[in-house]
Structure 1
């Protein structure tokens, strides 16, 4: 989906050798029985050759992100488990629905938007088996009935340190204070899409307590947004947001942490405040009526290992979801990890379940305000 492909730190396509799962027998009948071993599940492990002879497919959004997933977790899982795992994508919700509705499911593990996945739990997606998946190292509250995080990043406040370094903005209240912090602000503004970020920031800036954000008061939020509209520059993709920062066209930005990191690494004189940052993540899911759900759960469990998550971070710059993961990064990279000490605690709590229930109406209201 455009939202996901745009946010990646790079836009390279998955290698041309990617095979289409549907054309290569993915989702074929499992062996008569799958023995994953005894004892409690341990993230990052799988019984040797437990899935020998089984074809599977892993579906994600392409680019450096899916390449990182493949190298960090999927290929090593295939080598240890004996399964043949084919890459497919990009994630397409219409295709998922068509597969489930026709009872011809060829995708086994799917990386999807967390809010969409929350909304489809029990409909297009099946509950995860936590006797096979070890979620003990996932931060509390992030694993759902049908989803576990694939990685994490955040919507953060970035500011020009040459302009505001002596008195930097610290949170969303400062982002909306054009007197104390004059200049243009970049903000996500994609008609036809709405996600956590603008509404929450506006309400916090207007004095709503962080633990009282939901249900979102859209009228109050849009009124606050309207108060700084002359100072707003809207971006539709992560690449646009990064370019606005690098070019100096804006002095402050509501931007994905990975894009802020890339801009700073490229020399932009910007710094990030993690005060009231908003967590964003993808989710790993299993479609309803998947042919080999036990194998799908085993792949997800392996993906969540500390070593796999550390490698994924090193390859993609996204933050690891396993609390024991220790990626080998330079100091700049470490400073942008949303799971780092002293950073995770500063996050606003986003109610994904509320968003899942109300996203269609939020898209309508957001699009109306953008066009107004």
Structure 2
């Protein structure tokens, strides 16, 4: 990898302190010279001590997932590289914009929604740096998961689960999700102020649209189909609430993030996932423009994408790896929710983040009006 020079580590430390981030054991330092080594980048590696004393702030969504990210990747990266790795969160896009616009960036690596990240890639005044592929090795990232200004943070399924006590025979696909005569009962879907892949694709697949003809989405047709089950819908607004609706039995079927479904089943809910045409979703890791230590941030991304790191992250969080060589060691239940398992992966449908990024604003407005009835 190329030898590069960072901006002042002192500036980063002062900026982080100004936002209330606690820097443990980090003292002021002058400009740091970074030597990331020679030769091509290799995912999962960083030159020993290359970032000695360089402050770097990692931002994610909090909770068990961020804890897993730090345990599987953040702490080992800091130990190997010598970086002074800090945590902050949760991710807030308004804060990213304010930092970039004011040239006072204190967040170096930020876990974001992939649609938001794609919007930044597409915009002339986007808030994110392009990925430096001289530092970040993307050769082991599954096709379609990386963008010009982001790499994948993890991938998961957007899948519906059903109550096996209510439906002993079980629904087998989206057509059954929308069939309230054959499968009466409540369906839980997301009902918060956001929009993206999910029930719309499911509605079109249930209505007979072929997988390879989903995009561009015919949203008029999707809403017509969703309207047919509106009286049977209930809405969750947080991941925790979606898990609770399954565990309590409030929802007979629930369209949820696979990690939340796994959590509910692990806690004893007798629900089963339907992987047939479930949706592949992923999150993004990004570096804001004007980051004080961009090369160090890119080195973190490169380390994050390693097979060993990804396997460990999956073992800790249940979310699927974004390195094709990762081989997480999971129990039987974990394997049943591993979306990269060949038997599951072959059933799933890819989603188009570029289409959603282009149409996000108009579709969000439409969704909010629909929710209000």
Give the equivalent residue in structure 2 for 1:315: 316
Structure 2 partner of 1:358: 359
CA distance in structure 1 between the aligned counterparts of 2:31 and 2:336, rounded to whole angstroms: 46
Q: Which residue of 2 aligns with 1:183?
A: 185
- Distance in 2, matches of 1:29 and 1:215, equals 51
| Per-residue CA distance 1:16-47 (angstroms, 9 max, x = gap) | xx996756499x88845321111221111000
Instruction: Give the Å deviation of 1:136.
Output: 1.4
2:9 equivalent in structure 1? none
Q: Is 2:154 aligned against 1:147?
A: no
Q: Is 1:195 aligned with 2:211?
A: no
Superposed counterparts of 1:316-335, under 5 Å: 316-335=317-336
Matches within 5 A, 1:198-217: 198-217=199-218
Taking only aligned residues, the RMSD between alpha carbons, in angstroms, comes to 1.9
Q: Relative to 1, partners in 2 of residues 1:290 and 1:29: Cα closer, same or farther, differing over 3 Å?
A: farther
1:295 partnered with 2:292 = no
Separation in structure 2 between the aligned mates of residue 290 and residue 280 of structure 1, nearest angstrom = 27
State the alpha-carbon separation in 2 of the partners of residues 358 and 172 from structure 1: 24
Separation in 2, partners of 1:370, 1:30: 53
1:239–1:24: structure 2 CA closer, same or farther, 3 Å change rule? Answer: closer
Mapped partners of 1:23, 1:261: distance in 2: 34
1:30 and 1:292 in contact (8 A); partners too: no
Alpha-carbon shift at residue 89 of structure 1 (Å): 1.2
How far, CA to CA, are the matches of 1:31 and 1:77 in structure 2?
21
Alignment of 1:104-183 (within 5 A): 104-121=104-121, 123-166=126-169, 168-183=170-185
Contact 2:305 2:323 in 1 (8 A): yes
Aligned counterparts of 2:276 and 2:31: Cα–Cα separation in 1: 50
The structural deviation recorded for 1:53 is 2.2
Q: CA deviation at 1:299?
A: 0.5
1:40 maps to 40
**Runs of 4+ residues deviating >2 angstroms:** 18-26, 28-33, 162-166
- Give distance in 1, aligned partners of 2:139 and 2:117: 21
Q: How far 1:341 moved relative to its partner?
A: 1.5
TM-score by length of 1: 0.90
**Is the contact between residue 21 and residue 107 of structure 1 (CA under 8 Å) also seen in structure 2?**
no
After TM superposition, list the pairs within 5 Å mapping 1:31-70 onto structure 2: 31-70=31-70
Question: Retained in 2: the 8 A contact 1:245–1:263?
Answer: yes
Q: Secondary structure at the match of 1:327?
A: coil
Q: Which moved more, 1:249-258 or 1:107-116?
A: 249-258
User: More displaced, 136-145 or 239-248?
Assistant: 239-248
Runs of 5+ consecutive residues of structure 2 not aligned to the other structure: 1-15
Relative to the length of structure 2, the TM-score reads 0.90
1:346 is paired with a residue whose SS is coil
Give runs of aligned pairs for residues 190-339 of structure 1, distance below 5 A.
Answer: 190=192, 192-339=193-340
Q: CA deviation at 1:226?
A: 0.7
Structure 2: distance between partners of 1:314 and 1:30: 39
